Amino acid sequence: MLNYAFAQNPASVSPSNFDFHCHSVVSDGLLPPAELARRAAGNGVDLWALTDHDDLGGLDEAAAAAAEAGMGFVTGVEISIEWRDVPIHIVGLGFDPGHAGLAGGLEALRAGRVERARRMSDSLAAAGIPGVFEGAMRYAGNPNLISRAHFARYLVEARIAKDVQTVFQYYLTPGKPGYVDHRWATLEDAVGWIRAAGGVAVVAHPGRYRLLSHKDLRAFLAEFKDCGGEAVEVVCGSHSPDHVLHFARLARFYSFHASRGSDFHGPEESYVDLGRLPGLPEDLKPVWRLLA
């Protein structure tokens, strides 16, 4: 096991450009962990977390490359949950990656993904698009972590739609042929695993849950806090300036710490590059303070 030096005391770094959300080929990103680390450092990131979906397999490589680049590193993961039937993502930061409870929970989530992918493929076949499971698997850098993003890349290759955005719009979102209901982790499970492993739980990109009304989102945040959740992403790649103001207000109201992350997946697929984000509103408590 590597020595996650900065994961023990990132607060001593007092970062000016932290980025706590991105993906490597271990989930649905396009770059290996070490390349992400070098890109982040090159963009001026001084404290960085890799947060692959439901998998910790990239953390050793990421930590080693971050150390080589002289950049602070924090362990990370983005856990898929559902709450009142709505899929939501919870980022975990600064946990012990060797914790058995967390690893076991994530393993079950990955197994569920393979089963879901087969049902997605069956549903697309019934709609006249065969062979998508096999096609999507060719895009999965990690055969145990298949995501809708891999389906989207294959469906673009198969000329079913012109780009990834269009594939999601017509094939991979609720009500469309490639979307199937799925049981993810519960909120209590995800926050519980993260906390048991010594980490901090963060609500990922709260501006993206269009299936939740404002009232539901507030109920969700209250429940998240009751479970031991401590932070929300306020500045992130998919947030508009209005989102930033809105979630800054909610962070103050619930007394959450604030996180910041690009959600970078790859050079051609992301609007925001690693570390290229506005700063947090100055009065908010940055989440890295909880990681000391």
For binding to ligand AMP (CB under 6 A), which residues are involved? 28, 53, 80, 147-149, 164-165, 168, 265
Please give the single-letter amino acid code of residue 70.
Answer: G
Told to check if 113 binds Mn ion by CB under 5 A, we report: no
Tokens of 269: 């697929």
Please state the closest distance from residue 117 (CB atom) to ligand AMP, in A. Answer: 8
Please state the closest distance from residue 202 (CB atom) to Mn ion, in A. Answer: 11
CA dist., res. 167 & res. 173, Å (int): 9
Told to check if 263 binds Mn ion by CB under 5 A, we report: yes
Please state the closest distance from residue 194 (CB atom) to ligand AMP, in A. Answer: 18
Cβ nearer to ligand AMP, comparing 67 with 212: 212
Please state the closest distance from residue 87 (CB atom) to ligand AMP, in A. Answer: 7
CB 194 within 8 A of CB 201: yes
Told to check if 89 binds Mn ion by CB under 5 A, we report: yes
* Radius of gyration for the alpha carbons in the chain, expressed in angstroms and rounded: 18
Q: Choose the contact partner of 164 out of ligand AMP, Mn ion, none; CB within 5 to 8 A by kind.
A: ligand AMP
CB 237 within 8 A of CB 208: no
Please give the single-letter amino acid code of residue 276.
Answer: R
Tokens of 235: 């500045």
Cβ nearer to Mn ion, comparing 61 with 78: 78
Q: Say how many C-beta atoms besides its own lie within 10 A of residue 66's C-beta.
A: 28
Task: Choose one: 107-115, 136-144, 203-211, 273-281; the region binding Mn ion (CB under 5 A).
Answer: 203-211
DSSP code, position 168? I
Cβ nearer to ligand AMP, comparing 13 with 123: 123
Read off φ and ψ for residue 53, nearest 5 degrees: -65, 120
Cβ nearer to Mn ion, comparing 98 with 261: 261
Q: Choose the contact partner of 39 out of Mn ion, ligand AMP, none; CB within 5 to 8 A by kind.
A: none
Cβ nearer to ligand AMP, comparing 48 with 184: 184
Name, in order, each residue with C-beta under 8 angstroms of 176's C-beta and a sequence gap of 6 or more: 169, 170
